[in-house]
Amino acid sequence: MVKQVPIGTKGTAEERVQYEQTLSAHNHHLPPLYSTPDMLRLMESAAIHALQPFCEPGEISVGTGVNIQHRAPVGINAVVRATAEVESIEGRFYQIRVAAYEGKRELGAGIITRAIVRADDFLKKHDIPKP
């Protein structure tokens, strides 16, 4: 069942960059810069926050597609804020425009696609044991 999520619904997430979220943490030859996977994770969190108020008990949103660009670096202790805004709905898929910022400087942006599913049904369908 497609949820009635209004176009323009927003979500945010914020974090202070820690060493574990840098390239150096994965390869000591690389500089201590915020990694793209961690920026994407923060963007996904903002997208989750946008959709969560529309989920019924037992429902979650799951990622189904990502198209982002990481355009600018930041280092340890930078405060990164991600924003998400529902841009369109195609069937059961929600297209969410995301961006990450340090202050007013854009670090990255793109589109994340998510769908709302019943968690138990989703786990059963994909043969994933409950935690």
3-state SS class at 56:
coil
Q: Where are the beta strands (DSSP E) in the chain?
A: 10-16, 59-70, 79-90, 93-102, 105-118
Average pLDDT of the residues in 22-30: 96
Q: Is the pLDDT of residue 2 over 70?
A: no
> What global pTM score does this model have?
0.92
The CB-side HSE value for 31 (13 A sphere, CA atoms) comes to 5
Q: What is the mean pLDDT of the chain?
A: 94
Q: What is the dihedral of CA 43, 44, 47, 52, to 10 degrees?
A: -140
Distances, alpha carbon 5 to alpha carbons 1, 9, 100, 118, in Å: 12, 7, 22, 16
Rounded CA separation 16/34 (Å): 10
Band (127; pLDDT cuts 50, 70, 90): confident
Tell me the domain boundaries of the chain.
Answer: 10-125
Q: What pLDDT digit, counting tens, does each position of 53-90 carry?
A: 999 999 999 999 999 999 999 999 999 999 999 999 99
Superfamily, domain 10-125: Hotdog Thioesterase (3.10.129.10)
- 65, 28 Cβ separation under 8 angstroms: no
Rounded CA separation 30/10 (Å): 34
